[in-house]
Chains A and B, each alone.
Chain A
């Protein structure tokens, strides 16, 4: 039995469960993940080179980012190379509203700031999307890349944003353990990690509902064939802006979480290279598959951390890992899910009953091209449709 078929079986089994059964199976997984930094298992741990809970927290933040970016890339099929811009806007909003270095002179608590940060990034998503979303495919990609760079360079150049000097003492969520020590600190990040995992679960639930709604169906229509969607009466432009805005809001949330943990924000780290890593996280795991992008994000964050003990070679290892993973699983580790339509579950159960032999989920060799982002027909043209990713 090939790896592919085995995965297909797992997939079929999973899809045949009811939502309650799925959650029943997921809860132990989540509990295990929450417990992981405490277990600190040998071989998996990144210590002594770098702190293991912090490595996990960074992976969790990247997972949150990947979930947000997945809305744009995986669901709506829009290639966004400037997502780091939203992350930066979230982080800077948090800094401006809570750091004593900020000219605004306010020190709001973190919990107050988070919705503001998400709103601000959402608005900036709309601002970016309104003029650019009429572009298609790779033109959109390069414009978003330009947008990401513009955000970073503005942070460099506009004095009140303090460039490299940055903002210190950014607000953290306030809570303390029974012994009075704070839960959320920069170096003891168990609290932050747990918070991040909880946020991921919440965002996943919201995203799941969104995907099964009219909005989600419209996104898939746009992704599969924008012209056909438009002709059948889907207001594609509006839904593309929705995808941008919702993706941006999640980016803002993760930026805010990041700023709180580090407690400091400056203009470093919001460059194109970081944006590209986000993209790698989404594609590596399998664009369009929420669980997949979480796995992808974990790998993209974890591999360089795991090789932290050999800094000279860790990015070489990372680059090789990207190439090897793509060579062996071009659709991503977990392929795209094709059954996200409403009533999809009932439809599949009617079609396939409880049979578990052949998977209906696009993972079998005969239908493997279904994982292909821009098109669903097998094509020997290198899988690179001339029509571009977003069309």
Chain B
């Protein structure tokens, strides 16, 4: 057997330095997609202490919602659409709304059909986890049987083009849109949880469900709304994901991203909205740095090693607060 000439791990500091800004820009843009999905994990965790393993499938359902809207609007896979920018933006917004509706509806449906019966029966936490896994299997297989196992043909409405550069690193229109829109979505969600009446209910249930119920909070409604908000955010993430990765609509495309997003949520401090945002962005950037430093096949290891190291020093994540105690 011929020995491989290539070392199995690199240590290319030069590349890391040269690519620093480009990696940062790309990492922030991709990381904001992680962050949006991570918000869904964190919200549900905050209220139910449940790792919602099926959230990655809620996300991929949103991706399919967006994709099928593109198809319904008459876009052809593989073709490069030649439309005025105004139309494209309208179409993107429309598809995004459909994606949000699909994901939000799916999340609520999942809560009603899978988790609520378990709550009624006072099931232990692990039962929720297994049900989440079962639901994840079911949703994935339903998509596969319905749409096949090949990725859907590419439909790209808005090709990226550089707008300006930061220290020589080009920043594209897509990246600007995704980063800013994700931040905006985060602030809406954060304000909703911290300032609105319903948000107060969410925090109350997260802090002490029994007392909250006694104080007149409708716990079931709070849970439904939590799932809805998480699902809607996943739908937005679905739109941004498909804009960045037009090849992303495939039945098992949510799994890896879901694991990464969950890692991001824990990294920032699970149950904490700001932690999810921070964790997502850090993970997106760190992956790129690690890949430049060690080589592409170490990308995923970097994410997990980072997680382990951070938890060593901050056992409840970087921001470490729970949803309940995160004050405005």
In the complex the two chains form, is A383's CB within 8 Å of B130's CB?
A: no
> A279 with B118: in contact, given A143-B311, A320-B138, A326-B134 (CB under 8 Å)?
no
Q: Does B51 contact A (CB under 8 A)?
A: yes
> A316 with B138: in contact, given A139-B315, A384-B125, A385-B125 (CB under 8 Å)?
yes
A137 nearest CB neighbor, chain B only? B49
B121 nearest CB neighbor, chain A only? A330
In the complex the two chains form, is A316's CB within 8 Å of B124's CB?
A: no
Interface 9-mer from A21-29, A90-98, A219-227, A364-372: A364-372
Chain A residues closer than 8 Å to B133, beta-carbon distance? 276, 279-280, 319, 322
Chain A residues closer than 8 Å to B262, beta-carbon distance? 142
User: Nearest-CB distance from A227 to chain B (Å)?
Assistant: 15
User: Nearest-CB distance from B267 to chain A (Å)?
Assistant: 9
B294-323 residues with Cβ-Cβ distance < 8 A to A are 297-298, 300-301, 304-305, 307-308, 311-312, 315-317
User: Nearest-CB distance from B217 to chain A (Å)?
Assistant: 13
> A326 with B308: in contact, given A142-B266, A383-B123 (CB under 8 Å)?
no
In the complex the two chains form, is A319's CB within 8 Å of B141's CB?
A: yes
User: Nearest-CB distance from A193 to chain B (Å)?
Assistant: 27
In the complex the two chains form, is A146's CB within 8 Å of B127's CB?
A: no
Kindly supply a per-residue 1/0 record for chain B positions 187-212, scoring 1 wherever the CB is within 8 Å of any chain A CB and 0 otherwise.
00000000000000000001001100
In the bound complex, how far is the Cα of B145 from the Cα of A280, in angstroms?
24
Chain B residues closer than 8 Å to A134, beta-carbon distance? 315
Contact residue among B8, B48, B123, B307 (Cβ-Cβ distance under 8 Å from A142): B307
Contact residue among B49, B137, B298, B317 (Cβ-Cβ distance under 8 Å from A384): B49
In the bound complex, how far is the Cα of B133 from the Cα of A313, in angstroms?
17
Q: Does B131 contact A (CB under 8 A)?
A: yes
Q: Does B9 contact A (CB under 8 A)?
A: yes
Contact residue among A150, A322, A381, A384 (Cβ-Cβ distance under 8 Å from B305): A150
Q: Does B53 contact A (CB under 8 A)?
A: yes
Q: Does A131 contact B (CB under 8 A)?
A: yes
User: Nearest-CB distance from A285 to chain B (Å)?
Assistant: 11
User: Nearest-CB distance from B51 to chain A (Å)?
Assistant: 6
Tell me the dominant secondary structure on chain B's binding face.
Answer: helix
In the complex the two chains form, is B316's CB within 8 Å of A369's CB?
A: no
Chain B residues closer than 8 Å to A379, beta-carbon distance? 122, 210
Contact residue among A287, A312, A319, A326 (Cβ-Cβ distance under 8 Å from B123): A326
In the bound complex, how far is the Cα of B312 from the Cα of A110, in angstroms?
38
Kindly supply a per-residue 1/0 record for chain A positions 99-140, scoring 1 wherever the CB is within 8 Å of any chain B CB and 0 otherwise.
000000000000000000000000000000001101110110
Contact residue among B118, B135, B317 (Cβ-Cβ distance under 8 Å from A330): B118
Kindly supply a per-residue 1/0 record for chain A positions 352-376, scoring 1 wherever the CB is within 8 Å of any chain B CB and 0 otherwise.
0000000000000000110111100
Q: Does B119 contact A (CB under 8 A)?
A: yes
A321-336 residues with Cβ-Cβ distance < 8 A to B are 321-323, 326-327, 330-332
B204-231 residues with Cβ-Cβ distance < 8 A to A are 206, 209-210, 213
Q: Does A189 contact B (CB under 8 A)?
A: no
A136 nearest CB neighbor, chain B only? B315
Contact residue among A280, A313, A331 (Cβ-Cβ distance under 8 Å from B124): A331
Chain A residues closer than 8 Å to B301, beta-carbon distance? 149-150, 153-154, 157
In the complex the two chains form, is B134's CB within 8 Å of A323's CB?
A: yes
In the complex the two chains form, is B209's CB within 8 Å of A318's CB?
A: no
In the complex the two chains form, is A322's CB within 8 Å of B137's CB?
A: yes
In the complex the two chains form, is A132's CB within 8 Å of B8's CB?
A: no
B136-173 residues with Cβ-Cβ distance < 8 A to A are 136-138, 140-142, 145
Kindly supply a per-residue 1/0 record for chain B positions 174-185, scoring 1 wherever the CB is within 8 Å of any chain A CB and 0 otherwise.
000000000000
Chain A residues closer than 8 Å to B307, beta-carbon distance? 142-143, 146
In the bound complex, how far is the Cα of B128 from the Cα of A283, in angstroms?
10
Q: How large is the interface on A (under 10, 10 to 19, 20 to 34, 35 or more residues)?
A: 35 or more
> A139 with B123: in contact, given A150-B301, A279-B130, A322-B134 (CB under 8 Å)?
no
In the bound complex, how far is the Cα of B8 from the Cα of A126, in angstroms?
27
User: Nearest-CB distance from A270 to chain B (Å)?
Assistant: 13
Contact residue among A138, A159, A389 (Cβ-Cβ distance under 8 Å from B8): A159
Q: Does A147 contact B (CB under 8 A)?
A: yes
B255 nearest CB neighbor, chain A only? A273
Q: Does B263 contact A (CB under 8 A)?
A: yes
In the complex the two chains form, is A382's CB within 8 Å of B119's CB?
A: yes
> A381 with B308: in contact, given A149-B300, A157-B9 (CB under 8 Å)?
no
Chain A residues closer than 8 Å to B135, beta-carbon distance? 319, 323
In the complex the two chains form, is A371's CB within 8 Å of B124's CB?
A: yes
In the complex the two chains form, is A331's CB within 8 Å of B127's CB?
A: yes
Q: Does B126 contact A (CB under 8 A)?
A: yes
Q: Does B114 contact A (CB under 8 A)?
A: yes
In the complex the two chains form, is A381's CB within 8 Å of B8's CB?
A: no
Kindly supply a per-residue 1/0 record for chain B positions 277-298, scoring 1 wherever the CB is within 8 Å of any chain A CB and 0 otherwise.
0000000000000000000011
In the bound complex, how far is the Cα of B300 from the Cα of A280, in angstroms?
25
Contact residue among A135, A312, A330 (Cβ-Cβ distance under 8 Å from B127): A330
B137 nearest CB neighbor, chain A only? A319
In the bound complex, how far is the Cα of B308 from the Cα of A147, in angstroms?
8
Q: Does A179 contact B (CB under 8 A)?
A: no
Kindly supply a per-residue 1/0 record for chain B positions 37-51, scoring 1 wherever the CB is within 8 Å of any chain A CB and 0 otherwise.
000000001001111
Chain B residues closer than 8 Å to A136, beta-carbon distance? 315
- Beyond A322-B134, A384-B48, 9 additional contacts (C-beta under 8 Å) are A138-B45, A142-B266, A153-B298, A319-B136, A319-B140, A322-B131, A326-B127, A330-B118, A373-B126
A-B contact pairs, 27 of them (CB 8 A): A131-B312, A138-B51, A139-B315, A143-B311, A149-B259, A153-B297, A153-B300, A159-B8, A276-B133, A279-B126, A279-B130, A283-B126, A283-B130, A315-B140, A315-B141, A316-B138, A319-B141, A320-B138, A322-B130, A323-B134, A380-B209, A382-B48, A382-B118, A383-B119, A384-B128, A385-B125, A386-B206
| Those 5 A-B pairs whose CB atoms lie nearest each other, nearest first | A319-B137, A330-B123, A322-B134, A146-B304, A319-B138
Residues of B in contact with A (beta carbons under 8 Å apart): 4, 8-9, 45, 48-51, 53, 114-115, 117-119, 121-131, 133-138, 140-142, 145, 206, 209-210, 213, 255, 259, 262-263, 266, 270, 297-298, 300-301, 304-305, 307-308, 311-312, 315-317
